Structure 1
Amino acid sequence: MSKPWLRNLVIVSATLFSFSAFAHDSWINRGGFKNAAGEWCCGDYDCKSYSQIRSNAQGWMIDGELVPYDEAMPVSPPDGQLTICRRPDGSRRCVFGLKPGL
């Protein structure tokens, strides 16, 4: 692989990822959402939407992590996907999603 081609591939991949992350940050930032502790829900690129999730009686299962329904903000995500904003240490800051059946 030539170096210019590889460099362009990296740039395009990074750009596509940043647009996806920006889309979620923008609706969350525009809404000015804060969690119960008063923290802003979203900073730069710390929110991620999930389309492949499982649900059980307690909450959503995402990559082996149980996210309880009662952590969900009282706002549904406009894209209908479960969206989680995290702190730098990986802990959940805000969760946007609807319980199944609602």
Structure 2
Amino acid sequence: MEQEEEPKESVHSDLELEASNNQKPVSSPNNCIFFYGVTYLGCASVNAPKSENEINRVITTLNEQGKVFVEITMSVPQTIEEKIVLLDAQEAIIAQ
């Protein structure tokens, strides 16, 4: 079941914005955890998501191939029914 996209104004409603300075995760009223100051390297397929070696290999490859890195905020839901959301500096959704 596809959920309607929330307007960006409601994404950060009532959050403690001080967390953007110290990069600690902050809970939101919509049961998501926000991680500020995350560097987006790009995306890649991970064949073995439980393998630390595989994750490190993918991150190394993305670091080496990346030309532009973007600082984002990542919203991670506390339930598996929801989606991870990536927000740019203007709080616009860039990936879901």
For the criterion TM > 0.5, the same-fold answer is no
TM-score scaled by length of structure 2: 0.28
Higher percent of residues as helix: 1
Q: Which has the larger radius of gyration?
A: 1
